[in-house]
Every structure is written in C-alpha cells, then in structure tokens.
Amino acid sequence: MCAPDSPPSAITPTAGKSTVADVRTSPPPIVRGEPVEVSDGVYVIPDNRVELVPNVGIVVGEHAALVIDTGIGPRNGAYVLERARRLAGERHLYLTVTHFHPEHGFGAQVFKGAATIVYNAAQRAELHRKGAAYIDMFKGLSPAVAAELEDVELVDPDLVYEGEAEIDLGGRKVALRAVGPAHTGSDQVIVIDDRVLFGGDLFETRIFPIAPYFPPHDVDVDGERWMGVLDELIALGAEVVVPGHGEVTGPGLLGDVRDYLDYVRGEAGRLRAAGASADEAAEVIDKEARARWSTWERPEWIGFAARAFYDSAGR
C-alpha cells in the first residue's frame, strides 16, 4: 500500500461554481456483463454508460494477456480479474491503467500477486500524491460509491517505465505510452498492433471531456497538451478507438474531442481578453457548448474546462 508524499488536502469542486455530477441516484458503479471482442484478441467489458464505470480492456496473446483498467474498488477488480482469467486461461497476466482516477484503477489490489502491474513513473507519483484525497472525494459522491471504496488499498506497480514500453503477449504487440499531462498529470495510452487504441478519459463517446480542475488542490489538467496528444493520436490512424466511457468507436471521436477543446480554448481566451471574469466566461461557454454539442452528456464539466483554459490564458 502506498502513502501520499504529504497529507492530502481535501479535493473538492470550487464552491459556488460548476459542480461535479450528482450520482446519488445513479446505478451503483459496478462492472457488469461479458467481454466483447472488438478486434482480433482484444476484448472490452462495456461500461453501458453507467456513471463511474469504465470500459475495461482484456488483450489476449499466445502466452500472456493484458488487463486495462479495473473499475472502482476491490469488488469490481475481482470481477475483472475473473473475466480475464476465463479468457486467458493459464497465460501470464499483466495489468495497467489508463490513469490513476478511482474508477479506472482503484481495483488493482486484487491483481497484486495475480498479475504483473505496470504503470508509468508519473502515474505512480500521482497515485502517491493524490490517491488518498481522491478516495475521500469519491466516497462523498454517494453511499454506493463509498461502499465500493470501503476496503480499497492503493498498490504500487511491479514494473515502472519512462516514456514508452512494449509488452509482447505472443503474436500481439502492445505499446504503453506516457502522454500526460493532459486529462491528468500522467495519462497513458495503450496501442495494440497499431490498430486498437485505449485512451481512458482523454476521449469519451458523447460525453463532455472531464477536466478535473480543482484549484488550488488539483490543477494538473493541461488543455493545450491534451489537444497536442489528440493530434498525435489522430496521426496514429488506429481503426478501433476504445474511450474511457461510452461506446467503442472509430478514429473520428478523436477529432470531435479536439474540436470541442479547441472551441473552449478559443472562447476562454477571447472572453478573458474582452474583460470577462472567469465565472462570466464559463457561463457563456457553457450555454453555447450545450447548444452546439446537444447530444453529449455530462455538461457539468464544461465549466471546469472553461476555467482551466481561462486561467492558463493568463499565465
């Protein structure tokens, strides 16, 4: 179990501004269902658009398999591990996570000793720095979320890499690439055989990008770099794109998310230059973005992205 480098401050949304989605009436954040093959040897347990449930990946090669993300807490982690074992049989297991947020990686404890856990160095550092505070924050979202985090332990990886690493599963090449800061300070993408892309919350299907901008406690989201990462991922030309949340889709999703971020960046800079306050800019951007992307969910995150870009424009 890893401990924060220093006692964490409570991380909460900025009072009086946008608020994180109310999930008290949402279904429990439980990973359910069977893995669906989205490409040769690549499976996804779909999130079914349930709040705080990620798309979970299982990649099976000839002699090893990789699990991507765990769900929130040990119960979800155990479910994912069991489904992975069904597919992998006696093959060696690896686990990695797209980023440190609780619904993506806080089920890792059940994989300790059952799989080789691999993170990039920045992920491990961010987990140490923020993990305990994020447990406290997420427990406050709803009793159902708190229940899944009741016995959670934060675990260190078995292997740590810098920049990029490759895992040969046997006839299937997996590249792990550290690309943060963007959505978090330590985002990671996973590319399988140059055709399947897992990117966590760098992109989501029909959901406004989650910008966890909680000054002064957590300001690591980097909109400019996020857009640059999306440019790099578009250039990869992956055929199958697995978002952190929402339906598995194609490469067009990357451009859609980039267009949105570019819009928020441009409007935040324009409004700041015109003398608008951060609240005024966020209100204008929120109204216009809801109309422009009317089919997207989670509009409560628009204001967070607007304030992140507004503040960065003043640096």
In CATH, the architecture of 36-252 is 4-Layer Sandwich (3.60)
Check pLDDT > 80 for residue 104. yes
Instruction: Name every residue whose Cβ is closer than 8 Å to that of residue 89 and which is 6 or more positions away in sequence.
Output: none
pLDDT bracket for residue 315 (50, 70, 90): confident
CB 294 within 8 Å of CB 302: no
What number is the average pLDDT over the span 103-122? 98
42-94 pLDDT per residue, tens: 999 999 999 999 999 999 999 999 999 999 999 999 999 999 999 999 999 99
**45 exposed, middle or buried (CB, 10 Å; 0-12, 13-18, 19+)?**
buried
Q: Residue 314: its pLDDT value, please?
A: 80
Share of the chain above pLDDT 70, in %: 93
What is the model's pLDDT at position 213? 96
Output the pLDDT for position 136: 95
* CB neighbour list of residue 176: distance below 8 Å, 6 or more residues apart: 96, 118, 120, 161, 164, 165, 166, 167, 188, 189, 190
Domain ranges of the chain: 36-252
Taking a C-beta distance cutoff of 8 angstroms, is the pair 223, 176 a contact? no
| Both tokens assigned to 194 | 């140059």
Segment 153-194, tens digit of pLDDT: 999 999 999 999 999 999 999 999 999 999 999 999 999 999
pLDDT tens, position by position, 116-157: 999 999 999 999 999 999 999 999 999 999 999 999 999 999
154 Cβ contact list (under 8 Å, min separation 6): 1, 2, 106, 109, 127, 131, 132, 135
What's the pLDDT at 258?
98
Q: What pTM was estimated for this model as a whole?
A: 0.93
pLDDT at 26: 84
Give yes or no for a contact between 110 and 81, defined as CB atoms under 8 angstroms apart: yes
Q: Which two tokens stand for residue 309?
A: 């870009």
Interatomic CA distance for residues 70 and 274, integer angstroms: 45
DSSP class of residue 8 equals: P
Is the pLDDT score of 307 beyond 70?
Answer: yes
Rg (CA), the chain: 19
Per-residue pLDDT of 48-59, as tens digits, reads: 999 999 999 999
In order, the DSSP letters of 240-307 are EEE-SSS--B-THHHHHHHHHHHHHHHHHHHHHHTT--HHHHHHHHHHHHHHHTTT-B-GGGHHHHHH
| Beta strand pairing call for 240-242 and 196-198 | parallel
Q: What is the pLDDT of residue 20?
A: 55
